[in-house]
Structure 1
Amino acid sequence: MSTLADPRAVAETVTDPELPMLTLADLGVLRDVRTEGDQVVVEITPTYSGCPAMGVMRADLVHALHRAGFADVDVRTVLSPPWSTDWISEEGRRKLAAGGIAPPGAAPRHTGPIPLSLGPTRRTATCPECGSADTEELSEFSGTACKALRRCRSCREPFEHVKEI
């Protein structure tokens, strides 16, 4: 095992494949990095069940740690507690806005079962271009399932919004 690199510092440089302006640490999916003997153990949590980016995240972490000299790397998926958009760091939120994507607001709080809502979801987002709060949702889904497509009524620019979960 390499003594030249800190495995956590290496893992914290790996970017998200769907939001490449963010590292996995910015996004809050990087849960733990530790050594167990000569093995580096990394724990990550998916943003939602069935996230198709998990395989790429896992492979990118393994490759980055191998390049840094760590031969034995085990990337594990941790499901509890489930990921929340509240785990996105302040730096991550700043990077999203700078990349033209509205960061999420506070995640909804539930105590007990989550109520089923069959009506339209009411989300709000501030335009990352002009800062106006007067925006509308064009589609509940965008380039990825965790983002919605919105448009600013003030500057008319379309933008993506990371949905609160």
Structure 2
Amino acid sequence: MSTDTTTVDRLQRVWDALDTLTDPEIPVVSLRALGILRELREAADGMLEVVITPTYSGCPAMGQIEDDVRAKLAELGVSARVFTQLAPAWTTDWMTDEAREQLRRYGIAPPQCGRTDATTSVVSFAAQAGQPLTVPCPQCASTHTTEVSHFGSTACKAQYRCLDCLEPFDYFKSI
């Protein structure tokens, strides 16, 4: 077996294991689907490197995320360095469509942004025009909602309430 095949197989085995890790604050979505788990690479010295990026600088979950990555690697018997990379800054565009749907099913309104071009997102236009953002309720899909607080259960979420079903819910802010 060639070194290239061995490296690819090793990386795939580690990716498969890391794909089971979920966000400590949103346990229904994987770190990779959220775009937090950015890269897995083999360094020149043969050591694996795992790159993670926080959704917000100062995100309190990053310590737990790093610990979870290290624990999963230890389970596999794999030595690796874990890097927290701040640039480029995380964006909701890195979230997969599956992650957005998982958020909605969990009761969190997913971010409203363009999947391919954040500069043309719904949020950008609303913010530029000074208009309030219309966030559909994840429970009943009504757009008759209102922001209760710009700060929700975590810094990356805002608190909303549906005016039709009266349920409160978090909205994952677009970045």
What stretches of structure 2 of length at least 5 have no aligned partner? 1-8, 121-126
- Mapped to 2, the partners of 1:62 and 1:6 lie a distance apart of 15
| Contact kept in structure 1, 2:56 and 2:155, CA below 8 Å | no
Q: How does 1:1-165 map to 2 (within 5 A)?
A: 6-36=13-43, 37-70=45-78, 72-106=79-113, 109=119, 122-165=132-175
Shift of 1:5: 6.9
In structure 2, relative to structure 1, the CA distance for the partners of 1:62 and 1:121 (3 Å cut) is farther
Q: How many residues align?
A: 155
Alpha-carbon distance in structure 1 between the residues aligned to 2:80 and 2:12: 14
1:121/1:69 CA distance change after superposition, 3 Å: farther
Question: How far off is 1:38 after superposition?
Answer: 4.6
Q: CA deviation at 1:65?
A: 1.1
Q: In 2, Cα distance between the equivalents of 1:164 and 1:34?
A: 28
1:126 aligned counterpart, secondary structure: coil
SS in 1 for 2:160: strand
2:4 corresponds in structure 1 to none
Following TM superposition, where does structure 1 have runs of at least 4 consecutive aligned residues deviating by more than 6 angstroms?
A: none
Letter in 1 for 2:150: E
Please report the TM-score for the alignment, with normalisation by the length of structure 1: 0.85
Aligned counterparts of 2:146 and 2:32: Cα–Cα separation in 1 = 30
CA-based RMSD: 2.3
Q: Deviations over 1:27-82 (max 9, x none)?
A: 11111012335522100111111111111110000001110221x12110111111
Gaps of 5+ in 1: 111-116
| Residue 3 of structure 1: how far off its partner (Å) | 5.8
TM-score (norm 2): 0.81
Identity %: 43
Higher relative contact order structure (alpha carbons within 8 Å, sequence separation ≥ 6)? 1
Partner-residue secondary structure (3-state), 1:32: strand
CA distance in 1, matches of 2:49, 2:160: 39
More helix by share: 2
Aligned to 2:123: none
